Amino acid sequence: MIFQQLLNEESGCLSYLIGCTQAGQAVVVDPGRDRVAEYLGIARKKGLRITHVVETHTHADHISGNRDLAAATQAAIALHRSAPVVFEHESVSDGDVLRVGTVELKMLHTPGHTPDSMSVLVTDKSRGDQPWFVLTGDALFVGSVGRPDLGGAGAAEDAYDSLTRVLLTLDDLVEVYPGHGAGSMCGRAMSAKTGSTIGFERRFNPALQFRDKAKFVAFLMEGVPPKPPSFDTIVAKNRGLVPLSSAKPRPFTAKEAWAAVGAGACLVDLRDPATFGEGHVPGAINVWIDGPQFAERVSWFVPAGAPVILVPQGPSDVDRATPALARVGVDDVQGFLQWGMIDWRSEGLPIETVPQMSVHDLEQWLDEGRAVDVIDVREPAEWAEGHIARALHIPMLEAVRRREELAPERAKAVVCAGGLRSSAVISALKRHGLANFYNVTGGMAAWVKAGYAVER
C-alpha cells in the first residue's frame, strides 16, 4: 500500500493519497484546489492512476480540488449520500466499501461537524484483516474535535454519538489521520501533530473525557468562535451552487488601481506590517503573504463580491498569492499594482500610515497614564493565558462587527501574538472610517519576553 499525507502548513489542511502498487490505482481524500498538480505528480511517479476522489464532508474553510482532479483523471467523486451537492458524483452510505487492489476503504458516517461527515477506515488486506488507520476528516482531530458550525447543539449531540458509537469503538492501535491540524479554524486547540492513535486520543483528547452527552455538548458549545464570513461562499462553491473561476491578474498602473478602488475594488497589501505602516493605499487590507493563514485572513476581510487588486512586496508574490486565494474562494483577483508604492507616490495619490509601537513604548504610555486603549485581537484561549491589564478583548473575527465599542477619538494600541493579525484588523477597521491606531510590534510575545505584567 502507498500512503502519503500532504500538509498545507499555511492553513492546516491535510489531504491523503492512498494507492495499491499491484493494481496501479490510487484514491485521493480531501484534495485541495491548489494541490491538484502535486497529486498528479505523486501518482505519476509511483505508477498509479487516480480512480476515485473521496470527500469526508462538504468543506467550509477551503475550496475542494475534487472537480479539477476528476477532470484531469476521469476519477469518480465519492461523497456521503446526504451531501447537498449539485455536480456529478457517486453517493456512498455508511458501511460501503471502496476497494483499490488490496486496499479496502470502508465509509463510516460520522455526522456532527456537518451532517454529511464521514470517516474512512483503511485496511491493507495484503498484511491482514485488521484496520490499519482511519481518516477522520473533521470529526476527530489530534487533541480536539470538529466545531459544530452548521447545527449548533444538535450537531454537537451528533458529534458525541459519532465519536462514542463509531470511532471510539475502534481498537486503540488504529492510527488516526484527521482532515486538519494546527492553524485550522475547523476546531480549537488542535495539536501540531498530524497523526495519532485511537488509544492516545481516548486518553488525552480533552473532548473525549466526557461520559455524559450533555456535558460534552456544553464543552463543545462553549466559546465557539464566530463563523468566518467566507464560510458561506466557500460552502456554496463546494456544493456547485456558485461556479468556480480561475483568476488571471493583469498589471495595473497606480492611476488604474485608484480608479478601480473608486469603483468598488479592494486592494490587498501583501507587504509586512512595518512596510505597510510606512505608507499604503487608503482602504487597503494588510495581510502579509508570508504570515500564517494568509489566504484565510484575506477572505475574512475582503468585502463579499469586491474585485481584488494585489499590492506585492516581491516579484513572486502575485504568483504565490493567486492560487492560495483561489483555495479559499477568492477568485476575482483582477490585477496587481505593477510598480508598487513607488508608482503610487510618484503620481501623488493619497497615502495613509499606521504608526508602529514597541511594547516598551506601550508600557511607558500605560505607566504614565496616557489616554490609550489597548485592543487585544487574539483568540479566547490566548487571552486566557495572559493579557495586558484593562485591555479590551475583541477577537480578530469580531473586530469589524464590534467596531462601535471602540472610542473614535482615543489612541488605540492593537495587540495580537506577534503583530500580524493586529495590522490586518487595523486595516479592516480603517476601511470603516476609524482612525488613531498604533500597531504593537512583536505583540504579546514581545510583551511577555520583556517581563511586563500580565493578567490571567
Q: d(Cα 247, Cα 35) in Å, to the nearest integer?
A: 16
pLDDT at 19: 97
pLDDT at 186: 53
CB 132 within 8 A of CB 175: yes
pLDDT at 158: 96
CA distances (Å), origin 52, targets 27, 29, 77, 105: 5, 9, 6, 11
pLDDT at 419: 96
Q: d(Cα 21, Cα 15) in Å, to the nearest integer?
A: 19
Query: 18, 29, 44, 45: which is closest to 101 by C-alpha?
Result: 18
How many other β-carbons are positioned within 10 Å of the β-carbon of residue 345?
A: 13
pLDDT at 305: 85
Q: How confident is the model at residue 452 (pLDDT cuts 50, 70, 90)?
A: very high
Q: d(Cα 164, Cα 212) in Å, to the nearest integer?
A: 11
Residue 315 has pLDDT above 90, yes or no: no
Residue intervals of the chain classified under CATH 3.40.250.10 are: 245-346, 356-449
Average pLDDT over residues 184-204: 82
Element (H, E) at 302: none
pLDDT in tens, 63-78: 999 999 999 999 999 9
Q: How confident is the model at residue 8 (pLDDT cuts 50, 70, 90)?
A: confident
The C-alpha torsion from 293 through 297 and 300 to 302, rounded to 10°, is: -140
Average pLDDT over residues 396-420: 96
Query: Does pTM surpass 0.85?
Result: yes
Residue 378 vs residue 245, higher pLDDT: 378
Residue 185 has pLDDT above 90, yes or no: no
Bridge-based pairing state of the strands 144-145 and 76-80: unpaired
Residue 147 has pLDDT above 90, yes or no: no
CB 439 within 8 A of CB 277: yes
Q: How confident is the model at residue 230 (pLDDT cuts 50, 70, 90)?
A: confident
Q: How confident is the model at residue 243 (pLDDT cuts 50, 70, 90)?
A: confident
pLDDT at 229: 79
Q: How confident is the model at residue 112 (pLDDT cuts 50, 70, 90)?
A: very high
Average pLDDT over residues 396-418: 96
Share of the chain above pLDDT 70, in %: 98
Task: Identify the CATH class of 356-449.
Answer: alpha beta
Residue 227 has pLDDT above 80, yes or no: no
Average pLDDT over residues 438-449: 98
Task: Identify the CATH class of 2-221.
Answer: alpha beta
Residue 192 vs residue 124, higher pLDDT: 124
Residue 409 has pLDDT above 80, yes or no: yes
Q: How confident is the model at residue 183 (pLDDT cuts 50, 70, 90)?
A: low
C-alpha cell belonging to residue 76: 469518480
Bridge partner residues of 267 (DSSP): 309
Question: Domain 245-346 is of which CATH architecture?
Answer: 3-Layer(aba) Sandwich (3.40)
CB 64 within 8 A of CB 28: no
pLDDT at 50: 98
Average pLDDT, the chain: 94
Bridge partner residues of 141 (DSSP): 144
Share of the chain above pLDDT 90, in %: 86
Q: How confident is the model at residue 184 (pLDDT cuts 50, 70, 90)?
A: low
For helices 294-301 and 317-327, angle between their N-to-C axes, nearest 10 degrees: 70
Residue 331 has pLDDT above 80, yes or no: yes
Residue intervals of the chain classified under CATH 3.60.15.10 are: 2-221
- 27 phi and psi, to 5 degrees? -125, 140
Q: What are the E-state strand segments in 10-132?
A: 13-20, 25-29, 49-54, 76-80, 90-92, 97-100, 103-109, 118-124
Q: d(Cα 400, Cα 221) in Å, to the nearest integer?
A: 23
